[in-house]
Amino acid sequence: LFIDDNAPPHRARIVTARLQVVGVPHMVWPAMSPDLNPIEHVWDQLKQRLDDRTPPPRDLAELRVALVEGWNALPQ
């Protein structure tokens, strides 16, 4: 079984050709590249806000507060 994100920029033509030669079937499905998924950029920004906190959250309650504050501070 071979699964990839099906994003053409992430696969070289030689790889596509080799997969065809060895008989690996290709399923047609939408690309799932993180670059094409807008929520991935949001998660990156939120993680950066958490990483920038000094001191970092010490427990789950502080983490929750930090996440909510970070989420609310994201540009709309």
3-state secondary structure of 6: coil
Angle among Cα 65, 66, 68 to the nearest 5 degrees reads: 65
Query: Stretch 15-27: mean pLDDT, rounded?
Result: 87
3-state secondary structure of 65: helix
Question: Over the chain, what is the mean pLDDT?
Answer: 85
Tell me, yes or no, whether 22 and 43 share the same domain: no
Question: Structurally, how many domains does the chain consist of?
Answer: 2
Q: Write out pLDDT tens, residues 29-52.
A: 776 666 667 788 889 999 999 999
Q: Are residues 27 and 45 in the same domain?
A: no
Give yes or no: residues 60 and 74 share one domain: yes
Residue with tokens 């050709």: 17
Are 39 and 18 within 8 A, CB to CB?
no
The yes-or-no verdict on residue 6 having pLDDT over 80 is: no
Same domain, 47 and 18: no
Q: What is the pLDDT of residue 61?
A: 96
Q: Report the first-to-last Cα separation within the chain, whole angstroms.
A: 40
**Domain region containing 62:** 37-76
User: What size, in residues, is the chain?
Assistant: 76
Confidence (pTM): 0.53
Identify whether residues 76 and 45 lie together within a single domain. yes
Residue-level pLDDT at 32: 66
